[in-house]
Chain A
Amino acid sequence: MLCGRLVRLTAQEPKELAEAVARWNADSEWWRLLSTEPSNLFSAKKIAEWFEKDQEKEPPPGYFFCMRSLEDDHLIGFIGLDGDIYAHGEAFVGIGIGERDFWSKGYGTDAMQVILRYAFCELNLRRVALTTFEYNPRAVRSYEKAGFMHEGRAREYLWREGRHWDLIFMGILREEWSARDTG
């Protein structure tokens, strides 16, 4: 269920993931592709505390995984679903590949396909949504490949490097995913 062609999704070990994230965070381009928050540097200890606190919450705030390459089990990033999931059956997906060597090689699209299967078959969700940034065309292409449809843009939402950028919304409905999966 959690294996794709290139990656498998595993549970997050707070310490291990925190160390990797602390390292990846130093790459501010990566941070700015991923997050709206101001680029920042946190210690691995602090990051591990956050992960641990989240894991203690009941009910869990979301479903978060590590991404590991199938070939050599290398920790390359993370992916997860969150939001007020249950009443409406919609979750937001977020993905980050910290290891630059694994960009643009299909790993992200593969992980996305795995998590969509998890969302629709294990969590029985009705739709999965995401937001991404106008200045990240690589991500937009990857999501289009995974089957997400464009749903609109919040205009001039981001302000970085002295100019404004749109926040792009995309979504995939269960029926759209089923059609792709079987077709």
Chain B
Amino acid sequence: MNNNLLRGELVRLTAENPEVMAANFTRWNQDTGWLRFLDTQPPLMPSEKKWKEWLEKDMERASLDNFFFAIRTTESDTLIGFIGLFDLFMQHGDTLVAIALGERQYWGKGYGTDAMRIMLRYAFSELNLRRAGLIVFDYNPRAIRSYEKAGFVHEGRIREVIHRDGKRYDFLYMGILREEWLANGNMTS
């Protein structure tokens, strides 16, 4: 039995108080380059107060269709981003995953891939889901490589959904099935 379910080599997943996440989101949201990798919505820049309201409301909802965590480094306990499962359909055993590292100095160093491995382990061995999927934008090659490393397989693209800076870009859909995840040598028991 793995007692360090939410711990990896570089990071661990944690639960945080709304005011902690609100402060981080407000700061990260100033980085519009980061936002545009993550989100299709035009940046709104809600105040810290507004973020705290939303996060508190989310806390109260306590549903079975989403699980969100903060990502902290094991070395210095620095909060560097968030990761979570959403649109989770229990009866189908299917979920979507989203990850974002707000602290740029941790990009391209394996922190995201490590967090994703922990998340998939949680999804397949704790929640016993059958598959996990994600959407990534075709102007984000760094993320695409990270997901391929974590075992995600390309499943298709929705063409020209995003319109930014005068150009059009696709949504890429990727997914990983439980059997593929097991075959990658992931469950020890």
| A touches B in complex, CB < 8 A | no
Residue numbers of B with Cβ under 8 A of A are none
